[in-house]
Amino acid sequence: MKKIEILLVEDNADDAELTRLAFETGDIVKKNQIHVVRDGVEALEYLFDTQAETTLHLNHHPQLILLDLKLPKLDGLDLLKKIKSHPEAKKIPVVILTGSKDMNDWTESYGLGAVCFLHKTCDFDKFVEAINWIALGALEEESSVSEMEEKTQNNEEILLVEDDPDDAELTSLAIEKNCNSVKNKIHVTRDGVEALEYIFGFADENIDEDTPLKRRPKLILLDLKLPKINGLEVLKRIKSHPEAKNIPVVVLTGSKDWMDWTNALSLGVVQYIDKPLKSDQIVDAINLVNLGGSVQETKNGRFLLCAPFHRVDSSTKGEDKKGDDKK
């Protein structure tokens, strides 16, 4: 087994032990490869030479950081800010592992560059699968960065579903400049009908499990506010198809509706990115998908993100649902 170091920042001893057990159950990472710290200050001292008078230098460079948000001394979001503002440390993938159901925590974590958000209340089997998929990604990244870049350049094209031409151009440029992807590998569609026609050949409600795929893009970048057929409906049709459901979907949207978040995550998107987009977020999303590609081909259902809310009907009033959560 290749040596990998994972930093787990968790103040709850039971949660820390459960996370270590999840890694061991998957037989990818051994217990002695996981370093546990109990608060934000201890994490900073582990990562950085905090005695330096000027620039902080990295003392340790783990391949992955699992970060609780509710930490003593220095909370998780403040720690994440410090990590992502450091020129070297910002490259370390950070996974948020928390019991928080505060949507502000979700938005701020993703805005700061966290690669995904795992909720502590997920059932253990899903948690084991998610945690070990992430660990495998970190292992592959450590062993073959150049292979990952080659995959980004040579594999099937990326489908970008975006009706705003300016957003489409900015996203395409970010992919080309940062992911070794040439422009003709990015196919842009402007509405939900066009996206479904690109994947299945038609867009009506007759798409079922026997419908053959016309094209299978490597990755789908999906806006939610689309003309003709909205993004959530496109996502439902993709994720209800036995082959298309394995295509990773990243949501890129300006929607601030919390129901869009919960529905998209429960339908199986691998990441949810708020507009305006940052290049680093696009790169992280594409690299994360590349690292998980081999796992996705062999597992039935991948639980990268465990949403803290159950899926809700889009007709439900947000105020009513928020009130229910407080009960």
Q: List b or e across 215-234, with b for residues whose CB sees 16 or more CB atoms inside 10 angstroms.
A: eebbbbbbbbebeebbbbbb
Question: What pLDDT was estimated at residue 11?
Answer: 93
Question: What pLDDT was estimated at residue 39?
Answer: 95
The answer to whether the CB of 188 falls within 8 A of the CB of 168 is yes
Residues 96 and 230 in one domain: no
Question: What pLDDT was estimated at residue 246?
Answer: 86
Instruction: Count other Cβ atoms within 10 Å, centred on residue 142.
Output: 14
Question: What pLDDT was estimated at residue 141?
Answer: 53
CATH number at residue 236: 3.40.50.2300
* Domain encompassing residue 121: 6-143
Task: Give the whole-angstrom CA distance, residue 127 versus residue 158.
Answer: 29
Q: CA triplet 249, 304, 25: central angle to 5 degrees?
A: 150
Using alpha carbons, select from 306, 268, 270 the residue that is nearest to residue 99: 306
Please tell me the total count of domains within the chain.
2
CA 303 vs CA 124, 126, 133, 246, 296: distances in Å: 12, 6, 9, 12, 10
Residues 175 and 97 in one domain: no
Residues 82 and 174 in one domain: no
Residues 124 and 18 in one domain: yes
Question: What pLDDT was estimated at residue 179?
Answer: 62
The domain boundary, picked from 108, 127, 143, lies at: 143
What are the phi and psi torsion angles at 237 (to 5°)? -70, -35
Residues 155 and 294 in one domain: yes
Q: Find tokens 């939900």 and name the residue.
A: 192
The domain boundary, picked from 113, 143, 173, lies at: 143
> Does residue 324 lie in a domain region?
no
The domain boundary, picked from 92, 114, 143, lies at: 143
Residues 176 and 212 in one domain: yes
Residues 87 and 157 in one domain: no
Residues 127 and 173 in one domain: no
Residues 64 and 34 in one domain: yes
Question: What pLDDT was estimated at residue 254?
Answer: 83
pLDDT tens sequence for the chain (327 residues):
456 788 999 999 988 888 888 887 766 677 668 899 999 999 999 998 877 655 678 888 898 899 999 999 999 999 999 999 888 888 888 888 877 777 778 778 877 878 777 777 556 776 776 676 666 665 555 544 444 444 434 445 889 999 999 888 888 887 776 665 555 588 999 999 999 999 999 988 788 888 999 999 988 999 999 999 999 999 999 999 999 988 889 888 888 787 888 888 888 887 778 787 776 667 666 665 554 432 233 232 333 333 332 223 333 333 343 444 444
Give residue 326's region: left, alpha or beta (phi > 0; psi -120 to 50): alpha
